[in-house]
Amino acid sequence: MKNEVGCFVINLEKDVDRRENISRQLAKAGIPYQIFSAVYGKYLTPEELTQHYNKSRAIELSHDLTPSEIGCALSHVFIYRKMLDEGMSYALVLEDDAQLSQDLPAVLSGLQREYASSEPVVFLLNHVRKYKNRKTRRLDEKYLVADIYGTPIRASGYFITRAAAKLLLDNLYPVWAVADDWAVFNRDYATIKAVVPYCVGLSEHAQFSNLESERQAIQLKRSIGYHLYQLFYHKFINQLFVRPFQRVSKQDESW
């Protein structure tokens, strides 16, 4: 197996401005990359959906994924396959609306130094609102690695080991979950950790996300009982009996 680190940028062919923006950032950071042509979910044929999408499992465990969610999930899963096929030990996965910190190269070097590719770990580089501040591992004076807490929902930037890519590919294809269902992946498959503070933000292009508007529509369709349960659990049970014992910290989204 080659000891290589890859970088993949997920981008729809029509989104030229996004592609140019992230390409400029990576060139400035000195990070070699590949543009990965994203799967456009709305263009999938019924036959392709049958092949690539496990609808019954999606409905059983969460909800019937929208075309955009299916395309996004497939894009990430296909990157894991490509990473394995090309013998990469690690990969940086970026969506094309990412905004990169100048510290990103140093963070990536620290993660490679501290974690072997045989460890099944995904490191979220984008903003994570809550994390556990017990058993953290420091990369340098500024950055540390911590266990996630709650349900972080963003996949704009993460670093993944070869072992984690194999586990996620084996268990998430045909796709049945959204690409950033990190709490579920952490519970059942790979270990998901957060880099704190975050070093991948969102560019102005993130304001025009079709996926986010579809997610909001799904939230509105959920029952009143679902929302009451979420409110009761997070505001009372979680705050009183769970969070205090796990030493949870919050991270503001500052940029």
pLDDT category of residue 1 using cuts at 50, 70 and 90: very low
Q: How far apart are CA 185 and CA 176, in angstroms?
A: 12
Mean pLDDT rounded to a whole number for the chain: 90
Please, which residues have CB within 8 angstroms of residue 57's CB and are 6 or more apart in sequence? 176
Q: Does residue 234 carry a pLDDT above 50?
A: yes
Mean pLDDT value across residues 24-29: 98
Q: How much is the pLDDT for 4?
A: 87
Q: How much is the pLDDT for 183?
A: 96
Q: How far apart are CA 150 and CA 127, in angstroms?
A: 13
More confident residue, 43 or 208: 43
Q: Which domains does the chain have, with CATH numbers?
A: 4-250 (3.90.550)
The number of C-alpha atoms within 13 Å of 112 and in the hemisphere containing its C-beta is: 15
Distances (CA, A) of 121 to 81, 91, 93: 16, 11, 13
Q: How much is the pLDDT for 224?
A: 60
* Torsion angle in degrees (nearest 10) through CA of 72, 77, 83, 84: -170
**How much is the pTM?**
0.89
Q: How much is the pLDDT for 102?
A: 98
Distances (CA, A) of 23 to 11, 117, 163, 192: 11, 26, 27, 27
Closest CA to 183 of 40, 64, 61: 61
Residue-wise over 86-124: b if at least 16 C-beta within 10 A, else e?
eebbbbbbbbbbbbbbebbeebbebbbeebebeebbbbb
Q: How much is the pLDDT for 2?
A: 53
Is residue 248 helix, strand or coil?
Answer: strand
Closest CA to 196 of 244, 246, 128: 128
Query: pLDDT digit string (tens) for 169-197?
Result: 999 999 999 999 999 999 999 999 999 99
Q: Does residue 219 carry a pLDDT above 70?
A: no
Query: pLDDT digit string (tens) for 65-103?
Result: 999 999 999 999 999 999 999 999 999 999 999 999 999
Q: How much is the pLDDT for 238?
A: 58
Residue 11, both tokens: 């981008």
Q: Does residue 243 carry a pLDDT above 60?
A: no
Q: How much is the pLDDT for 208?
A: 73
Q: Does residue 228 carry a pLDDT above 70?
A: no
